[in-house]
Amino acid sequence: EVHLVESGGGLVLPGGSLRLSCVASGFTFSNYWMHWVRQAPGKGLEWVGRSTNYADFVKGRFTISRDNAKNTLYLQMKSLSAEDTAVYYCARVGVAGEGAFDVWGHGTMVTVSS
């Protein structure tokens, strides 16, 4: 069965850093594009990025990487602010879906607060 499991979230001080991980199982990870999407409390889904492409709000603060040998996607975040408080999801782009995210993790919560 196909699974994505995020981890690494938690409480971080404003200006701090955090690294999120997303472990994939049940499929050949290296064959798929993987993205990060977030949802702030009470807000909608917001695309974060893929590979070297990021949403404007990232402003050079986030870095996405992957280790295909470990079936793991990463999101390194720095200079965090309260506006980055959100559930962070990793999502897989399906091969037949014309860019649709066909598999999602359950997310990991990041809270930026003093």
Partner 1 sequence: DILMTQSPSSLSASVGDRVTITCRASQIIDRYLNWYQHKPGEAPRLLIYAASSLQSGVPPRFSGGGSGTDFTLTISSLQPEDFATYYCQQSYSTPRWTFGQGTKVEIK
Pick 98 or 114: Cβ nearer partner 1 = 98
Residues in 42-61 that interact with partner 1 by CB under 8 A:
44-47, 50-51, 53, 55-56
Regarding 29 and contact with partner 1 (CB under 8 A), the answer is no
Q: Would you give the binding string for partner 1 spanning residues 63-102, x where CB under 8 A is met?
A: --------------------------x-x--x-xxxxxxx
Closest to partner 1 by CB, 53 or 79:
53
Q: List 62's β-bridge partners, or say none.
A: 77
User: What are the Cα distances from residue 66, in Å, to 3, 20, 111?
Assistant: 16, 11, 23
Q: Give the list of residues 6+ apart from residue 101 with CB closer than 8 angstroms, or none.
A: 35, 37, 91, 92, 93, 94
Residues within the interface to partner 1 (CB under 8 A):
33, 35, 37, 44-47, 50-51, 53, 55-56, 89, 91, 94, 96-102, 104-107
